[in-house]
Structure 1
Amino acid sequence: MEPDAARDIAATDRAFFHILLLAGFTGGTENPMKLGEMNWPDIRDLDKERLVAVYPIASFEQHGLHLPLLTDTIQLDAMVESMDGKIGDRIVCLPTQWLGYSFHHMRFGGSLTARSQTHIRMLVETVDGLIGAGFDKVLVINGHGGNSADLRVALQELKETHAETSVYGASWWGVAAPALDSIREAGPNGSGHAGETETSMMLTLRPDLVQTDRLHPDGGRPPSVYAGRVEHFCRIDEHSSRGNFGDPTVATADKGQRMLDATVNCLVEIVDDILGERL
């Protein structure tokens, strides 16, 4: 074998090994996502032209008095598992990355966070591994609002270093907003962190983890008409004594299932639009 060919094969094998390490690091043994269940020859032999690599990112943080720390990850796991059931021939999924950027929740016990710089490196280097393994279409599905700023920076950096690769980011509550608004009853101010939407979804997915005797409306925007239009980073405890925003008391499992279905439908459409070169 020629030296150049040997180096090329070694570099390719390192890329496959890198992505398998990442998949194993970020997920558990019972995680339903598929990439971590494959071996490197399987990944090498995939027809990647017809596939979108799905990289879900979430958090490990407090969700008020009534929801568990892993709420974002549980929700995103369910969404991506449902996507896999619907379009498993079009996607290859990483396990959900449960550690995100959650500095603003750290005054409430149990929350874990990566520093922003660390988080951006995690995002960029995970996608680097996917690209090195041959995937040229990657969709990062975000399940936590605190990740959004880091994700934007990571997408910019990835475009600078991988100009010919298409890397997309989508926060599920953003892409599904019109559908979710048609289901919610509490309005925008009632559907914030651990509010109507997340509590409804958890009543569907893991009702055993929802402490319904602790449901309380809490939090809210500052009264200025410019709230939401002026950048101001603040901690959750500065606006909520319990750690939630909105009104979880109007949450129901029925609404949660409808919200999950609507969100998954939007995410499936995004995958189809990526493959159809409409995005």
Structure 2
Amino acid sequence: MHSFIPPERFFPYLTWTEIQDMPHKENVVIIQPVGAIEQHGPHLPLIVDAAIGVGVLGKALTKLDANIPAYALPTLYYGKSNEHWHFPGTITLSSETLTATIMEVGESLYRAGFRKLVLMNSHGGQPQIMQMAARDLHVQYDDFLVFPLFTWRAPNITKELLTPKEAKLGMHAGDAETSIMLAILPEQVKLEKAVAEYPPEQPDSTLISWEGQLPVSWTTKDISKSGVIGDPTTATKEKGDRILESVSDGWVQVIKDIYAFRLPESLS
């Protein structure tokens, strides 16, 4: 049931007495992977975001110094995915339900004595929910440090392996996600069904973009017939292995930094 997570790092395998007696719980790093069950084109399974999160985290925890206490919670497989709900198979929570779930998980961990929670989100449609829930948990408990992080934001080499067009316009089920899935769950990738499809390019004269500093809200059907936003046809397992190693290395450093992180002394 621990999937890619090392069993000794899987929170649900602990007993309540082990948690009760755990030393220095205020610095133990608890990591909540958050994914989604949503369409990823005709060539990738619905589980992509959740699989990438747990695959990267499992690799990182395997590499992490055994003296740094860090545990993975079970993945939250469902996320807020209503931008994809026109494609069959997508399962979505409302923003209210996802927020409430994160808040109640956080409150449960706080009651148990933990003070550091990482929201490791791998779905691009919900970073704002992670940020708001993290802030609300910290406002509720001012000694609770909650880190709303996006899996792909850890230092990594992924963009160096993509074409300039893919690095700029690839957003969903493209080269990077397909390559890393070939490394994580190769038997679930149907590369022969992969199609390339980019969103319509905006004129150079406009400041508005599909993603970035000044975005417009969109649903996938507005900009893609296949559900793909990018080019998965250039994906390879070799590229995926390199991406997985690089992103997981970045997460080793992230976990180390969170373990060492302290709030400044109160200014009041």
List gaps (5 residues or longer) in structure 1.
1-28
Distance 2:27 2:101 in 1: 26
Residue of structure 2 aligned with 1:69, choices 42, 46, 62: 46
Distance 1:222 1:148 in 2: 24
Residue of structure 2 aligned with 1:202, choices 181, 189, 202: 181
Indicate if the aligned counterparts of 2:80 and 2:126 stay in contact, CA closer than 8 A. yes
Indicate if the aligned counterparts of 1:185 and 1:250 stay in contact, CA closer than 8 A. no
Larger helix fraction of residues: 1
Letter in 1 for 2:92: T
Letter in 2 for 1:175: A
Distance 2:248 2:69 in 1: 14
Alignment match, 1:251: 235
Letter in 2 for 1:254: E
Letter in 2 for 1:271: I
Distance 1:205 1:191 in 2: 20
Match of 2:33, SS state, is strand
* Paired-residue identity, %: 28
Alignment partner of 1:218 is 2:202: no
Q: What's the TM-score, normalizing by structure 1? A: 0.84
Matches within 5 A, 1:147-186: 147-176=126-155, 179-185=157-163
Alignment partner of 1:235 is 2:235: no
Alignment partner of 1:274 is 2:253: no
- By how many angstroms is 1:243 displaced? 0.3
Indicate if the aligned counterparts of 2:43 and 2:193 stay in contact, CA closer than 8 A. yes
List gaps (5 residues or longer) in structure 2.
264-268
- By how many angstroms is 1:277 displaced? 2.1
Alignment match, 1:58: 35
- By how many angstroms is 1:190 displaced? 5.3
- By how many angstroms is 1:210 displaced? 0.9
Indicate if the aligned counterparts of 1:189 and 1:246 stay in contact, CA closer than 8 A. no
Letter in 1 for 2:37: F
Indicate if the aligned counterparts of 2:173 and 2:228 stay in contact, CA closer than 8 A. yes
- 1:7-65 Cα offsets, whole Å, 9 max, x none, are xxxxxxxxxxxxxxxxxxxxxx3545411111111111222244211111000000001
Q: What's the TM-score, normalizing by structure 2? A: 0.87
- By how many angstroms is 1:174 displaced? 2.0
| Deviates further, 114-123 or 186-195 | 186-195
Match of 2:157, SS state, is helix
Matches within 5 A, 1:134-149: 134-149=113-128
Indicate if the aligned counterparts of 2:44 and 2:178 stay in contact, CA closer than 8 A. yes
Distance 1:198 1:79 in 2: 12
Distance 1:46 1:185 in 2: 48
Indicate if the aligned counterparts of 1:151 and 1:169 stay in contact, CA closer than 8 A. yes
Alignment match, 1:37: 13
Alignment partner of 1:260 is 2:244: yes
Indicate if the aligned counterparts of 1:190 and 1:196 stay in contact, CA closer than 8 A. no
Cα RMSD of the aligned pairs, angstroms, is 1.8
Alignment match, 1:23: none
Distance 2:61 2:83 in 1: 32
Matches within 5 A, 1:9-158: 29-33=1-5, 34-47=10-23, 48-87=25-64, 89-158=68-137
Indicate if the aligned counterparts of 2:27 and 2:116 stay in contact, CA closer than 8 A. no
- By how many angstroms is 1:165 displaced? 1.3
Indicate if the aligned counterparts of 2:121 and 2:151 stay in contact, CA closer than 8 A. yes
